Amino acid sequence: MLGGPLSLRGPAVQFYLSTQIPGDTMSDRIFGLFGLALAIFFAWAALQIEESFLSDEVGPKAFPLIIATILGISSIFIALKPDAEPVWPSLGRLVEILAAIVVMILYAQFLPVAGFVIATAVAASYLTWRLGSPALSSLLIGVLTSVGIYVIFHLVLGLSLARGPLGF
């Protein structure tokens, strides 16, 4: 586990690396096509820009169109000359990340409502729990993280944080 830089990624991944089939390149092809679609969309959106009657020689469309062109060309290259397949997480880990994203979005929404300390304690508890802290101690870690940040950034450094109904 502590052998070298690779150990940052855990045994499952190392196993995957050792079994990886060269030539498996779907991700980059899809990514390239996605990039191409993005470039076309960007070019289309650039063409929708309303020109002002007071425009300079170049206008607001030219540079975005150059960007869209290079974006498109590089996407085509990515699709045509793909790299080896990256190590994608298993479905379970993917759900894990999605769940964390949902928690963060909820945190962003509820921060002004619930106030900094409560919202942060909940979000930090969740994250540390999912990263492997035991359930009970993750509650404690979450509360300590939240209160710690509140003390350092609000009480000591005077940063204004979101206030909840309880005043903190």
Partner 1 sequence: MDVLANLGDGFAVAFTLQNLGLALLGCFLGTIMGALPGLGPSNGVAILIPLAFTLGLGPTPSLILLTSVYYGAMYGGRISSILLGIPGDEPAMMTVLDGHPMAKKGMAGEALSLSGIASFVGAFIATWGLILLAPQLVKIALLFGPAEYFALFALAFATLGGVSSTNQAKSAFAAMLGLGLAMIGVDTQTGVPRFTFGEVHLYDGLDFLVAIVGLFALSEVFIFLEHRHGGSDANSGQLKLGRLTPPLSMIKQCTPTMLRTSILGFIAGVLPGAGASLGSFISYSMEKRLVDKEGTFGKGDPRGVAAPEAGNNAAAGGALVPMLALGVPGSGTTAVLLAVLLSLNITPGPLLFAQNPDVVWGLIAALFIANFMLLALNIPMVGIFTRVLMVPPRILMPIVAMVSFVGIYGISGSSFDLLVMIGFGVMGWALRKLDVPLVPIILGTLLGNTMENNLRRAITIDNGDWFTLVDSPLALTLWAIAIIGFVMPLIVGRLVRSKMHERGDEEGSITD
By CB under 8 A, the residues from 12 to 41 that bind partner 1 are 13, 27-28, 31, 35
Residue 51 backbone phi and psi in degrees, to 5? -75, 135
- CB contact at 8 A, 117 and 147: yes
Among 22, 23, 135, 160, binds partner 1 (CB under 8 A): 160
Nearest-approach distance from CB 155 to partner 1, in angstroms: 13
Q: Within 52-111, which residues bind partner 1 (CB under 8 A)? A: 52, 54-60, 62-64, 67-68, 70-71, 73-75, 77-78, 81, 83, 86-89, 93, 96-97, 100-101, 104-105, 107-109, 111
2 alpha carbon, distance to own chain's centre: 28
Spatial distance between the Cα atoms of 8 and 17, rounded to a whole number of angstroms: 13
CB 22, CB 70: distance < 8 Å: no
Instruction: Work out which of 133, 147, 164, 168 binds partner 1, going by CB under 8 A.
Output: 133
Amino acid identity, position 51 = E
In the complex, least distance from residue 40 CB atom to partner 1, rounded to whole angstroms? 13
